[in-house]
Amino acid sequence: MDIWVIDVSSANLTQLTNTPQEERRPVWSPNGQKIAFERGGTGWSNIWVMDANGANPLNLTNSSLGARRHITWSPDSKTVVFVENGHLYRVNVDGTGLFQLTTAGGNRHPSWKSSGGQNFIAFEKWASNVSEICYMPPNSPAITNIPGSTGGMMPAWAP
């Protein structure tokens, strides 16, 4: 699988990736200048970022062990958060600053939002086969469970 974009006004297709690995789940940066995506194979994947035209692909995680997925961008387009083995990680788009955000596993589907000058990452947390929605600042281990969110999945912020 490769990543393509289409100009809907002209119906022109442009192929952005062409490798033997699978590229999947592309996510545009908020400023529209970059695309983050998963590249890998059966049972493993890495988080990559490239320019919106497909140039300058960069492997942000560089490992052949485990799957990394569920990408979300920081509002300023400088950082991505992703999930590896149930943990949330943050990394800068130049590949520096890889940091594990959560200590307990079972986390999925992060969603980053800036509001009132503060940043928060909402995510789905699983424990004992039950999900709930939690949130945290991107630079702190302080996780807040949202009351009444039992069974909640795939959080998304209102614009």
- Strand pairing report for 58-59 and 118-127: unpaired
Backbone angles phi, psi at 117, to 5 degrees: 80, 0
Fill in the DSSP letter of residue 141: -
Decide if pLDDT at 107 tops 80. Answer: yes
Greater model confidence, 92 or 149: 92
The model carries a pTM of 0.89
Q: What is the rounded CA–CA span in Å between residue 86 and residue 111? A: 15
Structural domains of the chain in order of their starting residue, each with its CATH number:
4-145 (2.120.10.30)
Burial, 34: exposed, middle or buried (Cβ in 10 Å; 0-12, 13-18, 19+)? buried
Task: Give tens-digit pLDDT for 32-87.
Answer: 999 999 998 777 899 999 999 999 999 999 877 778 889 999 999 999 999 998 99
